[in-house]
Amino acid sequence: MPGAVLLSCEGLSKSFTSRPLFENLSFTLFEGDHVGLVGPNGSGKSTLMKIIAGEQEPDSGIRAVRKGVRVGYVPQDPVFAPGKSVHDVVLGALADDHRHEDYEKDALVSVTLRKAGFNDPDAATETLSGGWRKRLAIAHEMVREPDILLLDEPTNHLDVEAILWLEALLRSEPKAFVVVSHDRYFLENITKRMIELNHVYPAGLLEADGSYSDLLQKRDEVLRNEAAYQETLANLVRREMEWLRRGPKARTTKAKARIQNAESLIDELAESRARERTSSAQIDFTASDRKTKRLWRASGLRKSMGEKRIVDDLDVLLTPLTRLGILGPNGSGKTTLLRMITGEIAPDAGEIEAADRLRVVYFEQNRESLDPTLSLRRALAPEGDTVVYRDRAIHIAGWARRFLFRSEQLDTAVSRLSGGEKARIVLARLMLQPADLLVLDEPTNDLDIPTLEILEESLLEFPGALVLVTHDRYLLDRVSTQILALDGRGGAEYFADYPQWEANRRAPERSAPRSTQSAEKPRAKKLSYKEQREWDAMEATLLTAERQLEEATTRAHDPTIAADAVALQQRFEELNAAQAEVDRLYARWAELEAKAK
C-alpha cells in the first residue's frame, strides 16, 4: 500500500510558443515513493520536474504540497557561486534551516560529504570535474533531508563507479525521490514505480508499479489494447460512414443523435491515430566494406599525461566485428586512449600498426567540432542544400527529418539547440562518412531511450570495428564483445563482458593482478625455436593468405559464371577454404603472441 500523500498534481499543462509540451497531466507522490520518470526528448520531463520542484509555474493545473513537506531539486547542470569550497556549498544549503544548531550543521555537512565521497572539504568548486560537481549538487540537497528528492539526469557526467555509488545511496533511501534518467540499468535497480511521459497515451502518461522492465511490460499491454480498440473503433466508423452516405433524413431526434455519434466516433478515431504517430531517429552508419582482417593493432603502448600514467604496456587488437568497450573512473585516460587510436596524439612508447588508408570515424565527447554560430542547416549540410548518403543525394529537409528536426528549425543556431539535438547532429554527420573503425566517446549523453535503442541496433549491425566509451551499462553490455577496464594508474585489464567486470569489482582484493597489460605481469614461457620461426614469418604469411582470400572473393563473384552451377560451387568452396585459412592463422597468431609475452 502507498504511504501518505506528499504532493499531488492535477491537470497540469505547459506550452512553449504554440507547441504544447504536455496537457492535463495528473499524478501523486507518496511517502517512500521511488519513481523513475522517462519519455522521449521534447516530452517535457525537465519542465515537469521544475514544476514539481516549485521553480516554474504551469500554464494551467494545480500543484499541491502537504504542509511541512520539503522538496529538494538537483538540475541537469548544477551551477555554484564562484570562490566557494565544497564545504561552503553544502553548509549553505542549511543557512535557513532552524532545526539544527551551528555545531550540528557542521557535523551533518561532514557526514554528508563523506557519504558523497569527498575527501577534501576545502576543495574549490571551480576545480571539480563534471562528475564531482554532480555529486556536490546531490550532497547539497541530501544534507537538507528532503521528503521528496528530485534528480534530473543525475548519472550524466558520472563514471560507472559513481553511478554504482548513487544506486546504493538511493536504494537505501527511505524517503521519496523522482529520477529522470535514460540509464536503463540505473532505473531497473532503484525504482519501485515508473512514469512514462508520452503523448501516445490518452492521459499523456503511463504509470506502472515496479521497475523499468515492469513499465515495458505494461506499455506493451496498453499499446496492444489501444490497437485492438482502434480497430474496433475503425469498424464502427466504417459502418457509420456507410450509413451517412445513404443520406439519412435528419428530421427525427433519433437520426440527429446517430449523426452526432458518428461525428464523435470519427473525431475519437482521428485523435487515437494522431497519438500513435511517433517519430524516431534513423541511425545507420556507413561501412567501407573493407576485407582486411587486422584493422588496428598496438603493442606495448605507454602514455602519461604529466605525472599521471594512463596506460603501461597495453596491447590492443581491432578486427572487423570487434566491439571494444572501455571502462574506467573519470580522469583515468579513456579519452586519451581513444585519441591515440584515432591518431590524434602519439604514445610515449610502443608500436601502432594501422591498416593502409584506414578510415576512422570519431564521435567526440564534448562535440567540439560543432560550431555554435552555424545554423542547423549548415551544420547538417555544410556545402549546400543536399547531402550525399550512400551515393544518393538527399535534400536537407528530408535529411533533417531523419534526425527528428522540423523544417522550421533549419535556420536555428546550433547554440540554441538542446544537448540531445546536438548529439543527433554529430551522429548525422558521422553517418555520411564510410568507416572501417568507429570510435565513440560518450555518445549516449542527452539521448532519449528510443534513440539509444536505435543507436544500439546500428552498432550491432556495423560490420567494421568499434571502440566505445560510455557510462550506459545497458549499451555497453549489449554491444561490446570485450571490455577493457582502466584503473587510472596505468593498469588495464580485459573482461569478457560488463557482468564479469562488475563481479570482479565486487570480489575481494587479489594478491596479484590478472591483467595481461599490467607492468608487473609475470613473464610467460618463451617460444620454442620452431615457434619463434613461425612467429617471425606470421605477418608475411597472413598478408599472403588475405591476398588469396581477396582473389577467391573476386572469382566467386565473377558474373560470367553466374549461370554455371558447377563452377559456382567450386569457386565458393575455394572461398570458404581461403576464409578458413585466414581465420586459422589469426587464431594461431593470437596463440603465439600470448605465449611470447
DSSP character string of 414-435: GGGS-HHHHHHHHHHHHHTS-B
pLDDT tens for each residue of 240-292: 666 666 665 554 556 666 666 666 766 666 665 655 555 556 788 878 878 78
Q: Which residues contact 221 (CB under 8 A, 6 or more apart)?
A: none
Supply the pLDDT for residue 143. Answer: 93
The dihedrals phi and psi of 47, each to the nearest 5 degrees, come to: -65, -40
Taking residue 398's Cβ as centre, other Cβ atoms within 10 Å add up to 11
pLDDT tens for each residue of 470-496: 999 999 999 999 999 999 899 999 999
Contact 410, 396 (CB under 8 A): yes
Interaxial angle between packed helices 565-596 and 529-556, expressed in degrees from 0 to 180 and rounded to the nearest 10: 150
Q: What is the C-alpha to C-alpha distance for residues 351 and 389, in angstroms, rounded to an integer?
A: 35
Supply the pLDDT for residue 237. Answer: 65
Of 65, 198, 450, whose CA–CA distance to 208 is shortest? Answer: 198
Supply the pLDDT for residue 10. Answer: 96
Contact 379, 370 (CB under 8 A): yes
Q: In the beta sheet, which residues pair with residue 8?
A: 28, 64
In the predicted model, residues of the chain with pLDDT beneath 70 are 1-2, 17-18, 228-230, 233, 235, 237, 240-263, 265-281, 506-526, 557, 559, 562-563, 565, 590, 593-594, 596-597
**What does the block give as the cell for 262?**
458518428
Supply the pLDDT for residue 269. Answer: 61
Domain 5-217 maps to which CATH number in 3.40.605.10, 3.40.50.2000, 3.40.50.300, 3.40.190.10?
Answer: 3.40.50.300
pTM of the model: 0.72
- DSSP assignments along 12-47, one per residue: EEEEETTEEEEEEEEEEEETT-EEEEE--TTS-HHH
Q: What is the C-alpha to C-alpha distance for residues 470 and 326, in angstroms, rounded to an integer?
A: 7
Q: Which residues contact 163 (CB under 8 A, 6 or more apart)?
A: 155, 183, 186, 471, 473
Pairing label, strands 71-74, 205-209: unpaired
Domain 296-506 maps to which CATH number in 3.30.70.600, 3.40.630.30, 3.40.50.300, 3.40.1190.20?
Answer: 3.40.50.300
CATH of domain 529-596: 1.10.287
Sheet with 465-469, strands from edge to edge, namely 360-363, 437-441, 465-469, 323-327, 482-486, 492-495
Determine the longest span between alpha carbons in the chain, in angstroms: 106
Supply the pLDDT for residue 452. Answer: 87
